[in-house]
Amino acid sequence: MGRDRIDAYLEAHRGDFEEQLKELIRIPSVSAQPDHDADTRLAAQFVHDDLAAMGLNAQIIPTKRHPIVYAEWLGAKGKPTVLIYGHYDVQPPEPLEPWNSPPFEPTVRDGNLYARGATDDKGQMFTHLKAVEAWLKAEGSLPVNVKFLIEGEEEIGGANLETYVAENHAKLACDYAVISDSSQFAPGMPAITYGLKGLAYFEIHVQGANRDLHSGTYGGAVANPLNALATILASLKGPDGKIAIPGFYDAVKPLEDWERAEFKKLPFSEAEFQADLNVGELVGEAGYTTLERKWARPTCDVNGIWGGYAGAGPKTVLPCKAGAKFSFRLVPDQDPKTVEALLRKHLEAVKPPGVTVELNVSQGAPAVLVNVDSPGVHAAARAIEQGFGVKPVFIREGGSIPVVGLLKRNLNIDTLLLGWGQNDDNLHGPNEKFSLADFHRGIKSSAYLLEELARPS
């Protein structure tokens, strides 16, 4: 029967799949850094060629920035259509110093593949390519119609996919969307993620005098943009861990009782979590457990800061400018535009005298909640149970996958978020990794999913 042949194909090609993934990872397709533009094009070409080789109609769609790869196989008449989304771009690898092996030289240690993009999202995205390949090579056809939409701007909140989706409703029409760009709850505990946080990411520039000054000659008379920036950033959160922007929590949907109960059942050890990070204590909003704060409460983090002299030795400079990147993780039903407006009002109120402040929006996306009692979620649960050998748990995630909201708005579909990664995969940090065992279980579950979605209950 078909499933046996699929299983046999997957088993026979484990080594090939790993080598192909490594090849893709070696392309440093950092979307945020313009000097890697050639690499993003190369990564798009790689994905395109792989999809074309297995028999899909594939195309590279140029955009103003990084290209989109689209591919389709529509031979399953009368069957549902599944849109598989992924991204071939990766976060910047910096800082480089803490990496134990070069970020773009995939290296296997203890069954894990270490590299930038190993899990986010090249490795996870690749499971779906290989699942489709298995069906087409072993069976000659797919149980459902499949459309791939692989972009190159996920890590920079690229507006170009948004435009493309908005302009191609008919082409992208589907019954289900599937994304693997998240984590299992723990090793051996695969999960279906039914909630994601949104994101509102800003860059702030503070300007004082028209030039750097001597802190002795001018100190005490001229505003210091670094002191001002500290005051502004400190004003974003109160000592209770709550975000201190007036109105910020107005639209926040409270956690439901069943969710708090489910989260409590999960085997989450605060002590282990803390020990892994080597922090003396966990922090955050009062009145919520750590999982609740991570998954379902809004947060505010400064992501980067600069200004003045950061070299060796003391320099008594009163700098003329300073800047920072900071972001809010949003929850349903917060709107990034409303958050921006509230933030601007707050900045006007807290801005110290003597400086000017410029605020730029870098990224914005609302949070997502999927109905867990739906045919697609049921099919995914069955596929994962067969691929991993255990039933998945239902979780939310602190991360943001803006495309989920985009697909909902444009195509009116919910997305199945099937994460094959682990929480300690260090995505976005140094030594990002992906378990090779999970890679193969992910491919198997993805292959089964196509069949389960063909017969939803």
Least distance to a second copy, CB of residue 402, Å: 11
Least distance to a second copy, CB of residue 399, Å: 3
Q: Per the omega criterion (within 30 degrees of 0), is the bond before 121 cis?
A: yes
Q: Which residues contact 311 (CB under 8 A, 6 or more apart)?
A: none
The one segment of 37-45, 122-130, 256-264, 347-355 that binds a second copy by CB under 8 A:
347-355
Binding residues with a second copy: total (CB under 8 A): 106
**107 vs 231, which CB is nearer to a second copy?**
231
Q: Does residue 235 bind a second copy (CB under 8 A)?
A: yes
Which run of H or of E encompasses 448? helix 436-454
Q: Specify whether the CB–CB gap between 222 and 354 falls below 8 A.
A: yes
Task: Out of 4, 97, 281, 373, point to the residue binding a second copy (CB under 8 A).
Answer: 281
Task: Out of 40, 81, 180, 183, point to the residue binding a second copy (CB under 8 A).
Answer: 183
Residues 238-257 binding a second copy (CB under 8 A) are: 239, 241
The one segment of 8-16, 349-357, 375-383, 408-416 that binds a second copy by CB under 8 A:
349-357
Residues 13-42 binding a second copy (CB under 8 A) are: 31-34
Q: Does residue 301 bind a second copy (CB under 8 A)?
A: yes
Residues 205-234 binding a second copy (CB under 8 A) are: 208-224, 226-227, 229-234
Burial of 273-303, coded b for 16+ CB within 10 Å and e otherwise, reads beeeeeeeeeebbeebbbbbbbbbbbbbeee
State in Å, rounded, how far the first CA of the chain is from the last one. 22
Task: Out of 5, 14, 378, 428, point to the residue binding a second copy (CB under 8 A).
Answer: 428
For residue 385, count other CB atoms closer than 10 A to its CB: 16
**145 vs 193, which CB is nearer to a second copy?**
193
**55 vs 152, which CB is nearer to a second copy?**
152
Residue 366's nearest CA partner among 339, 336, 338, 340 is: 336
Render 109-149 in DSSP notation, one character per residue: ETTEEESTTTTTTHHHHHHHHHHHHHHHHHTSS-SSEEEEE
**14 vs 65, which CB is nearer to a second copy?**
65
**Which amino acid type is present at position 409?**
R
**18 vs 397, which CB is nearer to a second copy?**
397
Tokens of 196: 């994601």
Least distance to a second copy, CB of residue 369, Å: 16
Strands (E), 42-121: 57-61, 68-73, 81-87, 107-109, 112-114
Task: Out of 311, 371, 412, 457, point to the residue binding a second copy (CB under 8 A).
Answer: 311
CA distance 98 to 26: 19
Q: Which residues are known to be catalytic?
A: 89, 154
Q: Does residue 429 bind a second copy (CB under 8 A)?
A: yes
Four-CA torsion 244, 250, 252, 253, nearest 10 degrees = 150
**170 vs 312, which CB is nearer to a second copy?**
312
Least distance to a second copy, CB of residue 197, Å: 6
Least distance to a second copy, CB of residue 408, Å: 19
Residues 374-403 binding a second copy (CB under 8 A) are: 397-400
Residue 82 backbone phi and psi in degrees, to 5:
-115, 125
